[in-house]
């Protein structure tokens, strides 16, 4: 089950389904993060293979919301870093 709209996406960001169990969130001019619901984690970039970048084990009630929030925060930190270097 993949939500069609992730809550909390900043204006201009997009979220698209990637395969059966993942969503790719894109921040224009900054990058991507892939939320992998099957493995309950996220990765930097566009991929459903390899090691997860998330270090938390998402379990229990509300794990999807926590996973999505952390992935969006990760991409937001990339955007802030890029803005600071400009």
DSSP string, 34-81: EEETTTTEEEESS-SSS--S--S---STTHHHHHHHHHHHHHHHHHHH
Model confidence, pTM: 0.85
Instruction: Please give the helix or strand (H or E) that residue 85 lies within, else none.
Output: helix 63-85
* pLDDT value of residue 51: 84
Least confident of 5-9, 43-47, 71-75: 5-9
| Pairwise CA distance, residues 65 & 21, whole Å | 15
Report, as an integer, the average pLDDT of 32-60.
Answer: 88
The average pLDDT across 69-83 equals: 88
Averaged pLDDT of the chain: 86
Residue 4 clears pLDDT 60, i.e. is over it: no
């Amino acid at each position: 089950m993949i939500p069609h709209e992730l809550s909390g996406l900043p204006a201009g960001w997009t979220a698209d389904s990637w395969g059966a169990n993942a969503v790719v969130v894109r921040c224009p001019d900054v990058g991507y993060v892939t939320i992998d619901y099957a493995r309950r984690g996220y990765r930097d970039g566009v991929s459903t293979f390899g090691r997860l970048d998330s270090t938390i084990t998402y379990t229990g009630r509300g794990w999807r919301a926590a996973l999505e929030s952390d992935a969006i925060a990760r991409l937001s930190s990339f955007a802030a870093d890029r803005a600071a270097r400009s």
